[in-house]
Amino acid sequence: MAEITAELVNNLRKKTNAGMMDCKKALTEAQGNIEEAETILRKKGIAKAAGKADREAKEGIISSYIHMAGRVGVLIEVNCETDFVAKNENFQTFVKDLTLHIAAANPSYLQREDVPETLLEKEREIAADQVKGKPANVVDKIVEGKINKYFADNCLLEQPFIKDDKIVIRDLVKSKIAELGENIVVRRFTRYAVGG
């Protein structure tokens, strides 16, 4: 098996526009064979989806969901490229699934970039205090793991989908991009809870 180098991952990324982790996983699965890895990404729809990510998404819908006899409500804006896709039943079902997910999973942020740095520093400090006395390299790995767990708990795009916890919301969006052939962007959401 060929070594999966950063250069190899980068080359595949340039060819497919897929994310670094997706490229690394595909190369590992293909035992370092770049052509085979590209095929794996294409089969999963990731290369196709990533290629559409730069296209402008100005159409779309705003959807709502009211749950638990009016005690929880969600509003979401999801954009696509054309009015045709915005009216597509598949797209609308996907958006409705996102509102259900938000009602159940209660994310605080859309993506990890939205989490304030001051909050992350506090989380890092707490995590480091919990593993005091261990070697520095171990502490760093544990802290990084806890921060990634924080993102998975609090950022919509990082959360495991409530209907299928083997897929995170970001990958669910990518699969819809591949399926519908247009860039799709979850723009924003708000979750309301009575007394919350």
Residues 106 and 65 both lie in one domain: yes
Q: Are 192 and 73 in contact (CB under 8 A)?
A: yes
Task: Name the token pair of 157.
Answer: 């795009």
Q: Are residues 85 and 122 in the same domain?
A: no
> pLDDT (tens digit, 0 to 9) for every residue of the chain, 196 residues total?
567 888 888 777 777 667 677 788 888 888 888 888 888 877 776 655 555 555 667 789 999 999 878 899 999 999 999 889 999 999 999 999 999 999 999 999 999 999 999 999 999 999 888 888 888 888 889 889 999 999 999 999 999 999 999 999 999 999 999 888 889 999 999 999 998 6
- Supply the CATH number for residue 19's domain: 1.10.8.10
Are 103 and 165 in a shared domain?
yes
Examine residue 1 and state whether it is found in any structural domain, yes or no. no
Say if 91 falls within a structural domain.
Answer: yes
Query: Residue 195 has which token pair?
Result: 């007394």
- List Cβ neighbours of 23 (8 Å cut-off, separation of 6 or more): 9, 12, 13, 16, 37, 41
Indicate the DSSP class of residue 194.
T
Residue at token pair 């497919």:
16
- Evaluated on CA atoms 89, 90, 93, 94, the torsion sign reads negative
Amino acid at 42: R
Question: What is the residue type of 179?
Answer: E
Domain with 76, as residue range(s), is: 59-110+155-193
Name 87's Cβ contacts closer than 8 Å, sequence gap at least 6. none
Q: What is the pLDDT at residue 134?
A: 83
Task: Count each helix (H run) and each strand (E run) in the chain, helices first.
Answer: 9, 5
